[in-house]
Amino acid sequence: MKWHVLRPLWVAIGLVGAILVARVFLVPDDFGVHGKNFTYGYYRLSNVQEWVDFPVKYQGREGCVECHEANVVTLNASSHAPVECENCHGPGAHHPDGIESLPLNTTRELCLRCHAYLEYPNSARGSLISIEDKRHRRRRECVKCHDPHDPGEDT
Amino acid sequence: MTCSRRDFLKDAVGGTLATVMPLSAFTFLSHSEARAAVQESKVRWAFLVDTNKCVGCGLCVKACKNENEIPYDAEVTRTWVERYVVTKDGNTHIDSPMGGRDGFTSMEVDGEEIDPDNIEKAFFVPKLCNQCDNPACVQVCPVGATYQTNDGVVLVDRDWCIGCGYCIMACPYGVRFFHPVHKVADKCNFCYHRISKGMEPACVECCAFGARRIANLKDPDDPVTKIIMTERVAVLKDEYGTKPHVFYLGLDANVR
């Protein structure tokens, strides 16, 4: 074969070699088959820990009760007991570092998520106490009359 | 051929040792030891959705977006709630505005007013990643950026994903999306950072009606596992062979 035919071949071989060398430096050491097989378990092992270390934002009621015991006791005794504090108050991750980190949501829309009347006879929605948004005190916030911590007792 | 008594004894002892010695290299493992040896996890995460209990408040979607740092007003979400309204004329009306993030507060389905007298049945179906045993999304990833952990959860390596979108196309359930901030594929991972610390996923914790529950299928004493094993549960798109691990109670044939 003549030289000018061989030359691109050397270039191609050189490129493959360069890629193989670059791969040694670029691919992390912990990259490999760690799971059940190559198809589903070929990955960078340290990424699992990276996901485990992802910050938690919703803390749960146990965190709230330390300072807000009265509210939690009232809530637990009410029909709203299954509703998490953070559903209405927002995720407590950075609370109480800054009080502004937990803006209180008192909008009508929040209550209507569950309490807007939908005429679905065979849905669980039907078993909830509900209002027709357009007919029931249209422009007032629900919390002006109803206590969300103890909805059975109107204020 | 002659064989002296001495030679016979020598050969007998030597032969016995030669056969028994290699055998001692093998140990008989109990079932649990064998499983530990191949590093099989004691956890297999699964999910139970009770569609009979869901009221469509959307607090799970809100919690998920906040917990997992998914841009709140972007039209992408890791979990969503679908509303199905089946009318008496045989039509099924389906909608999920913003994934049901703000709940369902109007009788209008997808901008269409539906006569309440015409409704045969209506219900809500929460959806999320099925954490399949044969995940199609993992199979198609050309760079090994998405994978199945030993406890069954499919994760995305954000540093390694090139954003090609093959996995988004491959998922039969449409749970994957392109993360508008990180510019990589993203999906529900059962709140891996929470379940691995003994907490419940954010959507489970925030569901006031018990419609969403997390289970460890390898723990026979897990109350949710008992429900999955003993009650009549269904999965979505079983015919795809992906072996999904989100189980549904009260799943309707209209749900796709």
HEC sequence for B17-42 = HHHHHHHHCCCCCCHHHHHHHCCCCC
* Placement of tokens 């929460």 in the chain: B126
Residue A45 sits in the same domain as residue A98: no
pLDDT at A97: 75
- Alpha-carbon span A79 to B52, nearest angstrom: 20
Both tokens of residue A100? 């502004």
Domain that residue A86 falls in: 61-144
Nearest CA in chain B to A39: B139
Q: Are residues A16 and A88 in the same domain?
A: no
Query: Looking at the complex, does the CB of residue B197 fall below 8 Å from at least one CB of chain A?
Result: yes
Residue whose C-alpha is closest to residue A113's, from A95, A96, A97, A131: A131
Give the Cα separation of A67 and A72 in Å (integer): 10
Chain A residue whose CA is closest to B107: A118
Q: Is residue A103 part of a domain?
A: yes
> Using CB atoms within 10 A of its CB, is residue B18 exposed (0-12), middle (13-18) or buried (19+)?
exposed
Model pLDDT, residue B39:
61
* Residue keyed to tokens 């040896």: B37
A133 in a domain, yes or no?
A: yes
Beta-carbon-side half-sphere exposure of residue B87 (alpha carbons within 13 Å)? 14
**Three-state DSSP class for residue A144:** helix
Identify whether residues A88 and A134 lie together within a single domain: yes
**pLDDT tens profile A40-85:** 999 999 999 999 999 999 988 988 898 899 999 999 999 999 999 9
- C-alpha B153/C-alpha B133 separation (Å) is 9
Assess if residue A151 is contained within a domain.
no
Whether A74 and A119 map to the same domain: the answer is yes
ipTM: 0.86
* Interface contact flag, A125 B55, Cβ < 8 Å: yes
In a domain, A90, yes or no: yes
The answer to whether B140 and B147 have CB atoms below 8 angstroms apart is no
Considering only CB atoms, B193 lies closest to which of A36, A51, A123, namely A51
CB of A3 within 8 Å of a chain B CB? The answer is no
Does residue A149 form part of some domain?
A: no
Which residue in A51, A58, A83 is closest to B192 by CB distance?
Answer: A51
Is there a single domain that holds both residue A47 and residue A69? Answer: no
CA angle A51, A52, A55 (to 5 degrees): 85
Query: A42 and A76: one domain?
Result: no
Query: Do A67 and A127 fall within a single domain?
Result: yes
Give yes or no for B105 touching A (CB within 8 A): yes
Query: Is there a domain that residue A154 lies in?
Result: no
Q: What is the pLDDT of residue A127?
A: 84
DSSP A152: T
pTM: 0.85
Residue type, B235: V
| pLDDT at position B21 | 82
Nearest residue of B to residue A43, measured between CA atoms: B144
> How far is it, in rounded angstroms, from Cα B37 to Cα A8?
50
The four Cα atoms A60, A63, A65, A66 give a dihedral, to 10 degrees, of 180
Whether residue A37 is found in the same domain as residue A70: no
Tell me which residues of chain A have a pLDDT lower than 50.
154-155
A96 and A40 within one domain: no
CB contact under 8 A, B148 and A41: yes
Q: What are phi and psi of B183, to 5 degrees?
A: 60, 40
Contacts of B194 in chain A (CB under 8 A): 56
Residue B85 near residue B93, CB atoms below 8 Å? yes
Contact pairs from chain A to chain B, CB under 8 Å: 137
Same domain, A83 and A38: no
Cα separation, A118 vs B79, whole angstroms? 23
Q: Does residue A8 sit in the same domain as residue A30? A: yes
What domain count does chain A have? 2
Six-digit token string for B199: 């907490």
Q: A57, A112, A138: which to substitute to probe chain B, counting the most B Cβ within 10 Å?
A: A57
Asked if B206 lies within 8 A of A86 by C-beta distance, the reply is yes
Q: Which of residues 16-75 of A touch B (CB under 8 A)?
A: 31, 34-36, 39-44, 47-48, 51-58, 60
Residue that has been written with the tokens 């901030």 in this structure: B181
CB B55 within 8 A of CB B96: no
Residue A42 maps to a domain: yes
Residues of chain B with pLDDT under 70: 1, 29-39
Could you tell me if A74 and A130 lie in one domain?
A: yes
Domains of chain B by range and CATH?
45-132+187-249 (3.30.70.20), 136-186 (3.30.70.20)
Of the candidates B59, B107, B155, the beta carbon closest to that of A47 is on B155
Distance from CA of A7 to the nearest CA of B (A): 31
